[in-house]
């Protein structure tokens, strides 16, 4: 799918029909690793892929997703949040490029059991993933959804 078409077709998926494949996961993780980290401090971030049903059942707000990827950081600042956002956004776009369902998720962060995320790392953003029967169709995006100030 072309990038602009994908952006105009994307939507939050909250119903999943099955697990993603290892190849799909690999491509999503490549997209994550194409993301940026503030000041190139990549060592301050970790990705945790959760597919274990016993752990998923403890997470709130994941809509039955069979895969959740958590981005964690040793930092707790705006730069860490922005970096996590670019990492998750790349994963979301690649998931939808593969026809998978994806949804940005921060609701589950407080329910992640101790020991799932590496020590010294705090979960700051997550994405839910899975197969979906939803279709991604073009939608008209209003130019004024976000009010814009121009300084020319």
Q: Is residue 84 part of a domain?
A: yes
How many angstroms separate the CA atoms of 37 and 43, rounded? 9
Q: Give per-residue pLDDT as tens, 2-36.
A: 888 888 888 999 999 999 999 999 999 999 999 99
Where in the sequence is the domain holding 101, given as residue range(s)? 3-130
Secondary structure of 20-81 in HEC code, one letter for each residue: CCHHHHHHHHHHHHCCCCHHHCHHHEEEEEECCHHHHCCCCCCCCCCEEEEEEECCCCHHHH
Give me the number of domains the chain comprises. 1
- Characterise 85 by phi-psi region: left (phi > 0), alpha (psi -120 to 50), beta (else): alpha
Global confidence as pTM: 0.93
Q: Is residue 19 part of a domain?
A: yes
Query: End-to-end CA distance of the chain, in Å?
Result: 34
Task: Check which CATH number belongs to the domain holding 91 and give it.
Answer: 3.40.109.10
Q: Is residue 139 part of a domain?
A: no
**Phi, psi (deg, nearest 5) at residue 27:** -65, -40
Token pair in block for residue 151? 């300084």
Structure confidence at residue 41 (pLDDT): 87
């Amino acid at each position: 799918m072309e990038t602009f078409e994908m952006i105009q077709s994307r939507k939050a998926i909250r119903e999943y029909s099955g697990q993603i494949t290892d190849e799909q996961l690999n491509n999503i993780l490549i997209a994550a690793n194409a993301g940026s980290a503030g000041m190139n401090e990549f060592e301050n971030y970790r990705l945790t892929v959760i597919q274990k049903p016993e752990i998923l059942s403890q997470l709130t707000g994941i809509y039955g997703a069979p895969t959740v990827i958590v981005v964690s950081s040793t930092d707790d600042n705006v730069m860490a949040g922005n970096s996590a956002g670019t990492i998750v956004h790349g994963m979301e776009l690649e998931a939808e490029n593969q026809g998978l369902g994806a949804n940005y998720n921060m609701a589950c962060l407080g329910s992640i059991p101790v020991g799932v995320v590496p020590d010294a790392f705090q979960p700051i953003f997550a994405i839910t993933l899975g197969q979906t029967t939803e279709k991604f169709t073009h939608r008209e995006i209003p130019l004024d959804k976000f009010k814009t100030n121009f300084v020319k």
